[in-house]
């Protein structure tokens, strides 16, 4: 391998021996591992950072990659000869030892290295040292090893690269190795390569060749797992079968072409609401901790003191977030109550009805979420902008032309050029300048807001597939976003066997993905004696957003009849009534009549059922969205057990299945549990004193019944159902109570509820008063209003009495009185004492005022140059805020003899009239002395 023959030109083609392509170019893992053993110039991996070369040597032997020496000595300082190197390089390349030829005068057939050196030379892996010689006993250099490593690793040399410390011919290979992370930069490329270097880096190469390592596993839910790798990439695995809760399971994940097996455990979490927020004045979001089913759910949004304004809920792609677009706008800084019922976990587990009050506070300006222009022609006169939220705007210009806006929802706008303007050309990029963009709360975007779009020409017609949904519905699913307009004759549905036309219950409805249209058929297309029906569906007239029309065609879809029979699942006597039953079925059913049921008492006396209604009292013959109907009956006056029977084959599900017979018993004791109510007050002991302050930080919840559920269930170890001392039944400002909040009953023997049980208090008052104490909450987790005064909203829900009554949702806006005095958090001195330009900046703990500031009570102290005499003229004058920051006040100091190399202190001796901004301001009071940080000069 003579240096003179390693010229600076580089080869990018595969190395070919006289026998054909060498095997190494197939990059098998085994050959790369061999390369790792020899060419120890790879960059260190973090996982090997704490291992010595000897440690790595031992690991490689344990893994069977190295055999070790007969003496057990690692021989880390030994050199690697050119013959040894050529022999291993030939083996790595999968070359057959040569038997003919004599490329080098000093490599003879009778020498052990002949076959390997000759084969490697013919393959272009090694060259001589000049004069027709190979010098087999000479030591191999670092740069020679790097060259072969780069070739065998399939890396491309960097043309013309020059690397300090290397020969000219080696620079391109070394630079490639550095760029690819095979080596770290060094300067000893011409030196001999040692066995120690080889072993040290072989381990790192082995680690590198294993591919990225798994560095993190996150189980999102029972069917979705995220696996993070050392290359900072994440693979999301969707499992075909749900993980069994709390059981370690091995799953397979593929990353960069390599298969990994990892063990995961799905820790079951009960479904809960993570947050409820008014994201703007037109949208409310409810976020859950796991996927939910909202098919039978009802969501409402009601402004405090107003009427319901919620619209249809939309579930996010991950099925964890429900978005509610509202029919009318919310008011900024108002409060709304969000209620829902009928939500289920993905496994069908029902979620209890939920209610919470949240504050509407939109402070985020709108932005451009998407801007695009698609056309099937060479030019167009329009483009579309979707904003991050519902928004208004003044004007939009492209160049000097004002474009006309059109929007159905004030979120997605289509802008059109006037007929006199030159159209936008396909392939060209334009800039839209949007003036006056603002959201419903008045938050303005950057003015003007600029956004660019490129006109894309799309001449490809959309295609679709038909997807069955249920026995009466199917979807037309397109491969791209479609226009919402549907011609009246766009879809014709016929029975594929009889050719009879099937009527639809309206035009196909575009779904939230904007790619699918749902077709709903009138009646039941599947015959009673059949389990399926094949439909012949003709589709035409649908246009994609570029204007391409789908090719008219007819295709078939099969709808299947669901064979599970419906059944009555629950019966409940409605609270505070003795004649109204709530009946729930396993699925939607129709054909319901009073004659489908039989109600009897414990003596088998039949009790009349007078009507079938919905929850609003309107007569119906089918279940509502929650699969419920309500039966009005004759008054239940007899104490005891009653039975409601649903007669077999009396009602029908959407697949035409008749119900099974079912009898459900329930009891009525002729006593309705008194309705429990809750009052949330800013009086922590309900003793008549409004003592909710920034110091006490506690409120009370007063119930009108004394048998409110309290404590922990011995059977479950959790709070009893409906326990009033369960923090989960309360919220603060629309969120769960922060960690550290203490929820407790005030002692039931504290008759006057002053917080203390005195000697004369011997009567058990029962459980009717709960205190919510926020004082132990960490400062960074505590609501600002609790620390500095202001408004808080506390809610209570899902609380029960032992008698079985549940409180209506309760909410209260409470005022926290600020009684916390401001403090001095720090102070620093700037300027120059020599010219009386000193400034003292004081940082207070909160916003303050200084209109009546008394500078004799806030005292600065320091020394003159002799260190004993106090400086003069240190009075603080001319206070001013530090810009808009009212927590910082800057004072002027007239002193010229203050030595700023010596300590300076600040002391508040008494009332200084520096006060906070509370309704009843709190004075700074006595504080200090504190050390002043000095940035000033003399």
Phi-psi region of 535 (alpha: psi -120 to 50; beta: other; left: phi over 0): beta
* pTM listed for this prediction: 0.46
pLDDT, one tens digit per residue, over 226-283 is 999 988 899 999 888 888 878 899 999 999 888 899 999 988 777 888 888 999 999 9
pLDDT at 26: 37
pLDDT at 619: 92
pLDDT at 622: 92
pLDDT of residue 23 exceeding 50, the answer is no
pLDDT at 13: 31
Average pLDDT on 337-354 reads: 79
How, if at all, do strands 609-613 and 449-457 pair? unpaired
pLDDT, one tens digit per residue, over 270-327 is 788 888 899 999 999 999 988 888 877 888 888 866 666 766 788 888 889 999 988 8
pLDDT of residue 373 exceeding 80, the answer is yes
pLDDT at 572: 81
pLDDT at 428: 96
pLDDT of residue 426 exceeding 60, the answer is yes
pLDDT of residue 40 exceeding 50, the answer is no
pLDDT of residue 15 exceeding 50, the answer is no
pLDDT of residue 21 exceeding 50, the answer is no
pLDDT, one tens digit per residue, over 813-858 is 888 888 888 889 899 998 888 887 899 999 998 889 998 888 888 9
Q: Assign 68 a pLDDT band (cuts: 50, 70, 90).
A: low
Average pLDDT on 663-669 reads: 82
Q: What percent of the chain has pLDDT over 70?
A: 87
More confident residue, 654 or 366: 366
- Note every long-range contact of 602-611, with CB atoms under 8 Å and residues 24 or more positions apart, other chains counting: 602/638, 602/640, 602/641, 602/642, 603/638, 607/633, 607/634, 607/636, 607/642, 608/633, 608/634, 609/633, 610/634
Q: Residue 123: which of 213, 23, 45 has the closest Cα? A: 23
Highest mean pLDDT among 148-152, 494-498, 910-914: 494-498
pLDDT, one tens digit per residue, over 600-651 is 988 889 999 999 998 778 899 999 877 889 999 998 865 678 999 999 999 9
Q: Residue 273: which of 734, 866, 764 has the closest Cα? A: 734
Neighbours of 492 (CB within 10 A): 14
Among 348-357, 488-497, 610-619, which stretch is predicted with the lowest mean pLDDT?
348-357
pLDDT of residue 508 exceeding 90, the answer is yes
pLDDT at 6: 28
The DSSP secondary-structure symbol of 295 reads T
If DSSP states are collapsed to H, E and C, what string results for 761-822? CCCCCCECEEEEECCCCCHHHCCHHHHHCEEEEEEECCCEECCCCECCCEEEEEEEECCCCC
pLDDT at 747: 62
More confident residue, 649 or 2: 649
pLDDT at 535: 96
Q: Assign 790 a pLDDT band (cuts: 50, 70, 90).
A: confident
Q: Assign 766 a pLDDT band (cuts: 50, 70, 90).
A: low
Q: Which residues of 658-690 are buried (b: 16+ CB within 10 A; e: fewer)?
A: ebeebebeeebeeebbeebebebbbbbbbeeee
pLDDT at 177: 82
pLDDT of residue 383 exceeding 90, the answer is yes
pLDDT, one tens digit per residue, over 525-543 is 988 888 899 999 999 999 9
Bond prior to 448 in cis (omega within 30° of 0): yes
Residues ≥6 apart with Cβ < 8 Å to 584: 568, 569, 570, 571, 626, 627, 628
Residue 907 and residue 932: Cα distance in Å, rounded? 10
pLDDT of residue 12 exceeding 70, the answer is no
Q: Assign 509 a pLDDT band (cuts: 50, 70, 90).
A: very high
pLDDT at 36: 43
pLDDT at 202: 55
Q: Assign 168 a pLDDT band (cuts: 50, 70, 90).
A: very high
pLDDT at 476: 97
| Residue-averaged pLDDT of the chain | 83
């Amino acid at each position: 391998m003579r240096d003179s023959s390693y010229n600076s030109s580089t080869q990018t083609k595969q190395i070919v021996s006289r026998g054909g392509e060498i095997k190494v170019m197939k990059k098998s893992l085994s050959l790369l591992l061999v390369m790792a053993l020899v060419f120890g110039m790879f960059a260190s991996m973090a996982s090997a950072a704490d291992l010595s070369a000897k440690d790595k040597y031992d690991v490689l032997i344990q893994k069977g990659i190295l055999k070790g020496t007969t003496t057990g000595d690692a021989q880390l300082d030994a050199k690697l000869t050119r013959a040894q190197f050529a022999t291993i390089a030939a083996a790595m390349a999968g070359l057959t030892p040569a038997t003919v030829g004599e490329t080098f005068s000093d490599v003879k057939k009778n020498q052990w290295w002949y076959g390997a050196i000759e084969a490697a030379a013919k393959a272009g892996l090694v060259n001589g040292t000049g004069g027709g010689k190979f010098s087999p006993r000479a030591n191999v250099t670092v740069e020679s090893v790097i060259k072969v490593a780069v070739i065998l690793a399939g890396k491309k040399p960097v043309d013309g690269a020059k690397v300090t410390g290397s020969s000219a011919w080696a620079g391109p290979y070394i630079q490639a190795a550095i760029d690819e992370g095979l080596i770290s930069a060094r300067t000893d490329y011409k030196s001999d390569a040692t066995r120690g270097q080889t072993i040290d880096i072989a381990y790192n190469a082995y680690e590198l060749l294993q591919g990225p390592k798994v560095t993190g596993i996150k189980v999102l839910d029972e069917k979705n797992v995220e696996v993070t790798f050392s290359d900072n990439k994440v693979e999301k695995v969707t499992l075909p079968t749900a993980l069994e809760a709390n059981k370690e399971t091995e799953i397979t994940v593929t990353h960069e072409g390599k298969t990994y097996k990892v063990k995961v455990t799905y820790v079951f979490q009960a479904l809960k609401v993570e947050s409820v927020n008014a994201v703007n004045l037109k949208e409310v979001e409810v976020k859950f901790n796991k996927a939910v089913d909202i098919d039978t759910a009802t969501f409402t949004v009601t402004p405090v003191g107003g009427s319901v304004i919620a619209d249809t809920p939309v579930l996010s792609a991950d099925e964890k977030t429900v978005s509610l677009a509202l029919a009318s706008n919310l008011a900024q800084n108002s409060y709304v109550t969000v209620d829902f019922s009928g939500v289920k976990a993905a496994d069908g587990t029902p979620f209890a009805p939920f209610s919470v009050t949240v504050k509407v506070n939109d402070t985020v300006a709108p932005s451009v979420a998407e801007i695009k222009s698609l056309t099937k022609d060479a030019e167009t006169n329009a483009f579309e902008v979707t904003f991050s939220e519902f928004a208004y705007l003044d004007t939009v210009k492209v160049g000097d032309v004002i474009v006309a806006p059109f929007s159905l929802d004030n979120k997605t706008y289509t802008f059109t050029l006037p007929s006199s303007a030159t159209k936008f050309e396909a392939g060209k990029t334009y800039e839209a300048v949007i003036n006056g963009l603002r959201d419903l709360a008045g938050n303005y975007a950057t003015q003007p807001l600029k956004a660019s779009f490129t006109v894309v020409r799309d001449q490809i017609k959309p295609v679709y597939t038909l997807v069955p949904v249920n026995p009466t519905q199917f979807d037309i699913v397109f491969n791209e976003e479609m226009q919402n307009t549907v011609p009246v004759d766009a879809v014709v549905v016929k029975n594929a066997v009889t050719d009879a036309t099937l009527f639809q219950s309206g035009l196909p409805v575009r779904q939230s993905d904007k790619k699918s249209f749902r077709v709903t058929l009138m009646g039941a297309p599947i015959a009673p004696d059949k389990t399926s029906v094949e439909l012949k569906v003709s589709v035409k007239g649908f246009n994609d957003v570029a204007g391409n029309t789908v090719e008219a065609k007819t295709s078939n879809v099969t709808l299947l009849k669901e064979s599970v029979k419906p059944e009555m699942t629950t019966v409940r006597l409605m609270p505070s009534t003795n004649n109204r039953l709530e009946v729930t079925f396993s699925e939607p059913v129709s054909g319901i009549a009073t004659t489908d049921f039989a109600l009897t008492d414990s003596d088998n006396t039949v009790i009349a059922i007078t009507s079938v209604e919905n929850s609003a009292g309107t007569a119906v013959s089918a279940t509502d969205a929650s699969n419920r109907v309500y039966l009005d009956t004759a008054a239940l006056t007899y104490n005891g057990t009653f039975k409601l029977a649903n007669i077999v084959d009396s009602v029908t599900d959407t697949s035409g299945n008749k119900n099974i017979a079912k009898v459900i018993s329930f009891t009525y004791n002729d006593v309705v549990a008194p309705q429990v109510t809750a009052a949330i007050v800013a009086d922590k002991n309900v003793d008549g004193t409004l003592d909710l302050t920034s110091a006490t930080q506690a409120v009370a919840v007063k119930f009108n019944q004394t048998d409110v559920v309290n404590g922990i269930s011995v059977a479950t170890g959790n709070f009893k159902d409906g326990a009033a001392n369960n923090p989960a039944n309360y919220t603060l400002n629309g969120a769960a109570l922060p960690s550290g909040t203490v929820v407790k009953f005030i002692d039931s023997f504290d008759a006057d509820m002053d917080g203390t049980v005195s000697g004369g208090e011997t009567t058990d008052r029962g459980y009717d008063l709960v205190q919510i104490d926020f004082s132990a909450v960490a400062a960074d987790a505590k609501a600002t209003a609790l620390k500095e005064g202001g408004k808080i909203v506390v809610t209570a829900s899902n609380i029960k009495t032992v008698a079985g009554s549940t409180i209506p949702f309760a909410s209260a806006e409470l005022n926290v009185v600020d009684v916390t005095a401001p403090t001095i958090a720090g102070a620093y001195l700037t300027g120059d004492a020599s010219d009386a330009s000193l400034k003292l900046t004081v940082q207070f703990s909160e916003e303050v005022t200084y209109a009546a500031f008394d500078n004799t009570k806030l005292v600065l102290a320091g020394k003159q140059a002799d260190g004993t005499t106090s400086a003069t003229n240190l009075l603080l004058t001319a206070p001013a805020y530090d810009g808009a920051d009212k927590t910082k006040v800057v004072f002027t100091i007239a002193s010229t003899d203050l030595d700023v190399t010596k300590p300076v202190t600040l002391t508040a001796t008494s009332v200084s009239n520096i006060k906070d901004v509370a309704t009843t301001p709190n004075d700074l009071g006595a504080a200090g002395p504190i050390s002043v940080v000095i940035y000033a000069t003399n």
